[in-house]
Each structure stands twice: as structure tokens, then as C-alpha cells.
Structure 1
Amino acid sequence: MILPRPLIFLLLILSTLLLTSAFLCPNIPKDEVDTDLEQYIVYLKPPGLLDIVVDLVDHLLLLITCLGRTVQELIPGEGLFGDGPIDLNVITDLSFAGSGFRLYTGFFNPDFVENVLKKRNDVKFVEKICPVKADSAIPIYNLNLEKRTTQTSAPYNLDRIDQKNFPLDGSYSYPNDAGSESNVYVVDTGIFVSNVEFEGRAIHGGTFCGNCSSTDDHGHGTNVAGVIGGKKFGVAKKTKLIAVKVLNQNGQGTSSTLVAGLSYVITKHKNGSNKNTIVNLSLSAPFSQAINQIVTDCINAGIHVVASAGDLGQNACNFSPSTVPQAITVGATEKTSNTVTSFSNTGDCVTLYAPGRDIIAAGAGQNTFLSQASGTSQSCPHAAGAVALIISKNGNSSPSTMKNSLISLATKGILNKTPNVFLRVPTP
């Protein structure tokens, strides 16, 4: 069941008592109220102390009185609009802790958006939702761990990121605490948390795609989580992993499900005692102001955001969230050379590169499954794990300082693309 926020409920009472009789709806043609509806994300400007009640009530009255909409709070685990048919008259509040009613999604006529919503002084921007997808250029294949021989050396990708160059030495060295102090939110298709690679350190957080189960029924998120923190195949082998499911069983979602998931992460971070929070975004979308804004909100809250560069072989600056300047954006390199893969997005918005070809990690479906995949989805979690290791060795820092630390540790001058920076983890 989805319930109204207490703040909204209180303000609605105030509006009924004080402002309803004086409020005049704008002249909105009926066909702009309930026809040709499309889904949008609306970001409001932070109000001043004196304006917070008046502006908020005025905006809510527009939605409720003039459009006949119902404003409801998002409950993690029930999807963006709950299970079943979507109610086009529902406004879903996506605001994070401490922001008030600042962010929501709903269905509106495009003319109403242009003629009314975008012209309001309290609106920062309005954006039509866009598709979001997992960044894996090659499909994920499940392997059975029980049929594999005993691992006698480190996987190539881990071996590669603890040394400057080829040839590989067959070992992987990392700080002893191995990321145990950090919480890594894997914003993806979910995690198959019972896989033995996770040793009980992975849990379900929130589910934000409609008609989605909480577990990983695709495999992408489990592979990504395994690269971050699997016991044999992970970078930070003791870190905590929290699944935030925003992509469905096909590895697809929308900007609204992603914004909802990241708003949830901000709230958990602000309300939690452990501030060593890392977000892994192994996904991409067309350039989106809404996605970039919520990622920026994460970073402003002190959260380290690591994003994949994307798998179209294009300029990463044309996509989201890879275009957010404060994020750590990661491209992919080949298995046996310092060559950037042909599928990896590149350009000035990329922070550094990491292995992204034939990456083996935990798999979904059975507790002993492994999976293999290629993409910037796989290079990205190497950097997220490296951030957890830096926190283990040096303690936490601001996102900007952490990004600079990662670049400082990295190997320079060995790649064939810009930036010529390759991920390296801290030594023990």
C-alpha cells in the first residue's frame, strides 16, 4: 500500500483551511488535463523558509484541485506505481530525506507541461522520462562453480588492476580490511544475494521497477556486485552490497525508476550512521537532466558515485550519468592488452579505464553460479571496489577528494585513448 507523506498530509490540511477558497486554477483546456498523457519527472526549486508552505501548497493545489491528481509516497519494494495497471492520475513523490516535496513523477499532457508547469517560478525543470539500460555489450553467460577447477591464481582483471602494466604476475594484492567499512549500493537489476560469492554480505534494498521481483532475474546486477565484492572474483572482498533494483528482467528501466532508486539511496545515507556510501551505476541513458541532477544530489550528500561510460563506442559526454562531472566515469579495456575496447564510450567525460572484457563474477539463478560478461558495466564495478579499498586504507573523504585519489593512484600513459588513465587499487 502507498501512503501520503506526513508532511504532504499536513500541508493539505493547511491548504484546505487557509488557501483553497483563494486558489484559482489556471485556464487549462480539458484536453490538457486527461488526454495524450506522457510520463514526466518534475524537479522543484528549493524554497526559501518563508515560501516553503505557500509555494508547496500552491503547487499541490495545482496538481490535486486543478488536475484531479492524487499525490502518493513511493514505498520501496512496491515499484514506482505499484504492481498491476498504472494509474495515470497518481503523482508519485520521489523526494529524498531532508528535501521536502521537491521531486515527483506523473503523467501530463505535453501542452500542459509547456504552457503551465515549465512556466511556474517554483519549477526547476520538467523532463519527459527516457529509457535506461544495463551496459553490457555481450550477454551474460552462467557457469556452474561446482564444475570449475580450484582457483589457483587471481582472475586476470584483478591481477591487472594491482600492477602498472603487463605481463601479469598471477597475484592480486589489496588492503587487509578489503572494503569492510563501506556500503556499496548496486543500482541495477538486483542481486542474487544467496550466491556463495557474497558470504551473506549482500542484501535486498529497494525495488523500484513495476511488477519486478526483488531478486535478480536477469543476472547483470549479480555479475556487477560480484566484481565489486565477491569473495574470489571481487575487488573489495569484504564490502557490504545493497541491491537497489531499477531495471527489470530484460535489463531495462526508465529515468523515473533510476531517480526513485537514487532518491532512496540518499535517504538511507542521510538517515544511516555509516557514511561510507558508494553507488555503482553500470547503466546508461540518453542525456537526461533528471538523471544528472539526482546523481549530483547524491554527490552533494557525500556519496561516491561510480558510473559506466556506456557501450556504444561514442563520446561519453552525450549520455547520462556518464556526463556528470563530479562522478567517477569508467571505460573498458581489453583482456590481453592496454587497448580500449571498441564498444567502450570514450572522451573527456571518462575519468579512467578498467578491465571490461570477459569478466567472470557471481551469477544469478543458483547459489553456486558464476557468470561472464563484457562491457563498461564490468569495468565500472572495478572502480567502485577500488573506492571501498581506499576507504579501508585511508578513511573516507569527500567525493571530489576521492575522485582525485583514484586518479592519483592510477597508471598514466599506457592507453590509446583520452584520458590516458588506467585504474590501480591501493597497495596493502
Structure 2
Amino acid sequence: MAVTRKRRLHWAGGLTAVMTATVLSAITLPAHAAPEGQISGADGAGSVSGSYIVTLKGGTKAPSQAGKALAIEYGARISHTYSTALNGYAVKADEGQAKRLAADSRVASVSRDATVAVEHRQADPPWGLDRVDQQDLPLDSGYTWPESAGQGVTAYVIDTGVRITHKDFGGRASHGWDFVDNDATAQDGQGHGTHVAGTIAGTTYGVAKQAKVVAVRVLDDNGAGTLSQVIAGIDWVTKNARKPAVANMSLGGLADPQLDSAVRNSIASGVTYTVAAGNDGLPASLYSPARVKEAITVGASDKKDARADFSNWGARLDLFAPGVDVTSASNASDTGRATFSGTSMASPHAAGAAALYLADHAWATPADVSKALVERATSGKMSNAGLGSPNKLLQVNNP
């Protein structure tokens, strides 16, 4: 790169015309930006901001004085030098510096640094977990999840309460508020909420095995409640959510604008919502909160990748997830388990997937999370998805 130096010139009238023309030409030439090269590697999920891996062509050895000076010339700071597996180094630099370095004739490549992590695998998991970590059948009797495992994310279970002492939660579950008895102990006397919470974040049964669970009880021991109770629960989550956060609503009823507005406003506050599509085999657009566009609406699939015959369907769905014969934690004891079916079981699979995403993208908006889950979902696997339904099956490990 040319360096312009200013200096005071003294000349006599006897300078030749050639010299004068040369000086004037140098003064009037327009400035040109330094050339920029290409940086490889995706700028997005997993990339490390301000960190690049540089490889050099054979004529310049990275550990040499000339090799080190090359990086310094462009304002980059060397953090690691490679001399055996690669001829190059890792550098700290802004994007402009990295692009200018990439344009140097001595440089072979510049690529973005990225995160890597070990992955955990669970043998013989519940079939729902087994299904959502692979694109194709048959099931492989395993569930693989990222190292983050939902850590740092809080999942709010707006339901019948949660047996927070269940061993599968490993001490990560707590009470939020009980809007049935109006107290601070959201204990589950029905079992639905504990099962849902187990699918979201249980150590054995859960998608996001390190996420925290907060119980918000809005349904009684018969699994019934009122719109006012449900809206109160949503309001509490909106006021008290520790973000990043996801809220799951495995409940619903006929379309109600107030319930829709409450969910929509809570999402606008930064809480991602996953909601059950409903179990009447009808268009989800007839039900609340399933019809809320900003929420992630989930239909139920079975072990053969068919829409469950009870699952609601239609364009309002975002995707499907396992919802038939799903085994998870039970409220009967601290080690109990139960097997349920319903879109109530499908939605928490998506809530767990949202928690996994938020653990690695803490500043993602609910719209970002919804987009990521839909884009990562496996396409074209569902049979009998229903008129207008997206043929999308939840997948937690698609890049």
C-alpha cells in the first residue's frame, strides 16, 4: 500500500518542465481506496466477531519476521501463529483490516473464526427427542444436543403448575405465581404442566437440558381455567421474565382477541412464545392463541411423520413436532413418568428448541427465533399435513 509523505520542497526557477509536470500530476491524482479481498466463512451464527484465520502463501513463513510484519502492516494483532498444520496465524482485526489483508499478494486466504463445541448424546431417549435431532427415519435411538443445552435461558410454563421437586429438573425448576389459588406456589395437581416442563427442559425427557423452568399456574387440577387467569399469567410473565426467555402455552380455546393481544404484547416485550395448535382436527386459525401470527404455532406429528389425526392444521401453523405417545415427567412423584398425546406435547418440543437457539443467540428477538426454527425444520417429511399447513418438522440440529 502506498504511503504518502508530506515534506517541504524548496526549488529554484530553474527546475525543468518535466519535474513541474510530475509534481502537479502527483498533486491532482484522485485518492484510491486500498484494495479489499474476500473473507470466507459465514458471518452469522457461530462466527466470532473480530477474529480471523489467515493462511500465507509458501514464499512467506508465518513465524518469520516478514510473516509477522505482514499482519502488523494492516493493523491486525496476531493471537496464534501456525507453523506446522498451517502456514498462517489467527488475528484480531476489524472487517476492513481483514479485507485489506486478504487482498495482499502474499496471503492465500482469510476466513472468519467460528465457535466449536462438543455435543452430548443421549442413548434410548423418548422417541420425540430421537426424532427432532435427525432429518430422516428410521430413528437412531439417540438424541444429540449442543453443549449450551439451553443454559442461561428461562422457560415459563403457563399451565397447570409444575412439580418443581421432580428429579428430572435437577433443581432448575421454580415457582412463579399461581393464578388459580392466588399464591406463590404453582404446584401441579393435574400433571399436564409437569409433563410439558419435562419435555422442554428435563434431564432425561427434555430438549434443552440446562434451561431453567418457571411454573405459572393458570389452570386448575382438572386442567381448566378462565381467560382472565390465562391473561393474568401472560401479564405476569411479561412483567417478570428474565431474558432470554421462552414461554410455552399448551392450552387454548376458541378465538379471543384479548388473549391474542396479551400474547402479542408479551412477544413484543421480548419473550418468545410457543403455542399448541389445538386438538380438534380443524384449522388452527379458529383458535387462540394458536392463531397469533407472532407466536410459534405447533401441530402434532406421530412416529411415522404423519399429522396426528387430532391435530389442528392450516396456514397458521409454523411447524410440526412429536405429539403422540410422548413420555415425560409426571406429577405423581419426584421420579414418576407419564405418556400423553396432544399438540400440548408437540409445543414444548419447540419451546426446548427455542431455548437451545436462545442459549447461543441471547440477543435474538422472538421473530429471529421463529425464523430460525422454521428455517432449520426438515421440509417435505410430513404426510397428510393438512390443507395449507407448512410441511415442516421440527429439527434442532440443522445448521
TM-score class, shorter: 0.5 to 0.7
Alignment RMSD = 1.5
Aligned pair partner of 1:302 in 253, 267, 270: 270
- Alignment of 1:214 with 2:189, yes or no, is no
The answer on whether the counterparts of 2:128 and 2:326 sit within 8 Å (CA) in structure 1 is yes
Matched with 2:324 is: 357
**Which residue does 1:204 correspond to in 2?**
175
| Per-residue deviation, residues 47-73 of structure 1 (Å, max 9, x unmatched) | xxxxxxxxxxxxxxxxxxxxxxxxxxx
State the alpha-carbon separation in 2 of the partners of residues 152 and 292 from structure 1: 40
1:403 to 358, 365, 370: 370
- Of residues 256, 269, 293 in structure 1, which corresponds to 2:261? 293
Q: Aligned residue for 1:157?
A: 128
Give, as a single letter, the amino acid of the residue that structure 2 aligns with 1:179.
Answer: G
Instruction: Give the deviation of 1:276 after TM superposition.
Output: 0.3
Aligned length: 273
Matches within 5 A, 1:34-45: none
Distance 1:329 1:313, change over 3 A: same
Equivalent residue, structure 2, for 1:371: 338
Cα separation, 1, equivalents of 2:299 and 2:123: 28
> Of 145, 158, 161, which residue of structure 2 is paired with 1:187?
158
- Aligned-partner Cα distance in 2 for 1:344–1:376: 6
Once the 2 structures are TM-superposed, how far is the Cα of residue 371 of structure 1 from its aligned partner?
1.1
RCO higher in 1 or 2 (8 Å CA, sep ≥ 6)?
1
Counterpart residue number, 2:226:
254
TM-score by length of 2: 0.67
- Equivalent position to 1:311, from 279, 282, 291: 279
Structure 1 residues without counterparts, runs of 5 or longer? 1-150
SS of 1:205's partner is: strand
Cα distance change, pair 412–383 in 1 and its aligned pair in 2 (3 A): same
Q: In the alignment, does 2:374 pair up with 1:425? A: no
**Residue 308 of structure 2: which of 341, 344, 368 is its match?**
341
- Per-residue deviation, 1:338: 1.1
Q: Is the 8 A contact 2:151 2:210 kept in 1?
A: yes
User: In 2, Cα distance between the equivalents of 1:327 and 1:389?
Assistant: 17
Aligned match of 1:388 in 351, 355, 372?
355
Q: What is the TM-score when the length of structure 1 is the normalising length?
A: 0.62
The answer for the alignment partner of 1:166 in structure 2 is 137
Counterpart of 1:130 in structure 2 is none
How much does 1:427 deviate? 5.7
Q: How big is the shift at 1:210?
A: 4.2
Query: Higher Cα Rg: structure 1 or 2?
Result: 2
Identity %: 40
Displacement of 1:211? 7.3
Cα separation, 2, equivalents of 1:162 and 1:260: 35
SS at match of 1:227: helix
